[in-house]
Amino acid sequence: MAEMTAELLRAKGYRVDTRTGFATSGIRREQEVGLVDVYWEYTGTSLVTFNNITQKLGGQEAYNRVKELDARKGLIWLTPSKVNNTYALAMRRADAQARNIQSISDLAARIRRGETFRLASNTEFYIRPDGLMPMQRAYGFEFGRENVARMSTDAVYDTLRDSSEFDVGVVFSTDGRVAAYNFVVLRDDRDYFPSYLLTPVVRKPILDKNPELATHLNALAEKLDNATIARLNAMIDITKIPVRDVVTAFLQGSGLI
């Protein structure tokens, strides 16, 4: 999204300085103090992590709430895309079928009965306030600290695919590797995970000076949904096409540049 936004805005005549590699909390702090002007954020992340709202809200209601709350901090939420990139638990399809596990509740029930499952998780999900520990409380089970390994997001996918030592992995629902590696996402049957609608967020002083930014970013948001993002991610992560080439082809094919 950083590359896509930068290329789009450069084509519209803006000078763009792109930075990547921030942690979620870090980039939020930088945006609040004025060091980052534009960032695509998830509604669920702002709702739970930055505004401490634990109430269960639907997609539109969550968007409305974070838009109102963050406006008080000088951050303007534009039109959300149709990308709902939730966290999810995944298993190798063959293992899930053999053990008749279709949902997180199915997994929880087996663990409560004494079965052991090892989880590969990225560090952020491990420590997030909407992450591992509250999810386990919501479903009434615990993997056990000794059965959880923290690693990079990319390593989670490779480890779950290649290592029989791990049974479950924390994935993103729009990652192209879920289908490519023949994983199955366990149904969040208690609706634990909030809606994570991917939305452009702009600092108010920047938007006041450049109101046309909303037009450009909203037009991009309109072109994005889960299937599109999964396809683009797969081109990068599986086919190994350079990010810039994928972005340029998408923006041109969508008529955005």
Cβ atoms of 193 and 125 within 8 Å: the answer is no
The single-letter DSSP state of residue 223 is T
What's the confidence (pLDDT) of residue 24?
80
Residue 107: its H or E element: helix 104-112
Q: Do domains 2-84+196-253 and 87-185 have the same CATH topology?
A: yes
| CA dist., res. 163 & res. 166, Å (int) | 6
Does the domain at 2-84+196-253 match CATH 3.40.225.10? Answer given as no
What's the confidence (pLDDT) of residue 72?
96
| CA dist., res. 84 & res. 199, Å (int) | 10
pTM of the model: 0.78
Task: Please enumerate in sequence order all residues whose Cβ is within 8 A of that of 117, keeping only pairs 6 or more positions apart, or say none.
Answer: 107, 110, 111, 143, 147, 167, 168
The ranges assigned to domains in the chain are 2-84+196-253, 87-185
Q: How is domain 87-185 classified at the architecture level of CATH?
A: 3-Layer(aba) Sandwich (3.40)
- Consecutive sets of 10 residues in the chain, 257 residues long: mean pLDDT of each? 96 93 86 94 91 85 95 97 93 96 98 97 89 95 96 95 94 91 95 91 97 97 94 92 97 96
Q: Give the 3-state secondary structure of 215-232.
A: HHHHHHHHCCEHHHHHHH
What's the confidence (pLDDT) of residue 16?
96
Which tokens go with 114?
């004494």
First to last CA, the chain: 15
Q: Which residue has the tokens 């991917």?
A: 198
